[in-house]
Amino acid sequence: MSKKTNEIKELFLEHYAHAKTELRYSNIYELLIAVMLSAQCTDKRVNMVTPELFRKYPSTKELSIADIDELKEIIKSVSFFNMKAKNLISMAKRVESDFHGEIPHNQEDLVKLDGVGRKSANVVLGEFLGLNYMAVDTHVFRVSHRLGLSKSNNVLQTESDLTKLFKDKLNLLHQAFVLFGRYKCKALKPMCQDCFVSKYCVSKDVFKPK
Give the residue numbers marked as catalytic: 119, 137
How many secondary structure helices (H) and strands (E) does the chain include? 11, 0
Which residues in 26-59 are b (16+ Cβ under 10 Å) and which e?
eebbbbbbbbbbbbebebeebbebbeebbeebeb
DSSP 8-class letter at 197: T
- Report the alpha-carbon distance of residue 41 to residue 39 in Å, rounded: 5
**Residues whose CB falls within 8 Å of the CB of residue 89, separated by 6 or more in sequence, listed in order:** 63, 64, 66, 68, 71
Cα 144 to Cα 131: distance, rounded to the nearest angstrom? 20
Instruction: Give the C-alpha separation, 74 to 89, whole Å.
Output: 13
Query: For residues 175 and 131, is the Cβ–Cβ distance under 8 A?
Result: no
Q: With DSSP H G I counted as helix, E B as strand and the rest as coil, what are the percentages for the chain, rounded to 5?
A: 60, 0, 40
Distance of CA 200 to the CA centre of its chain: 25
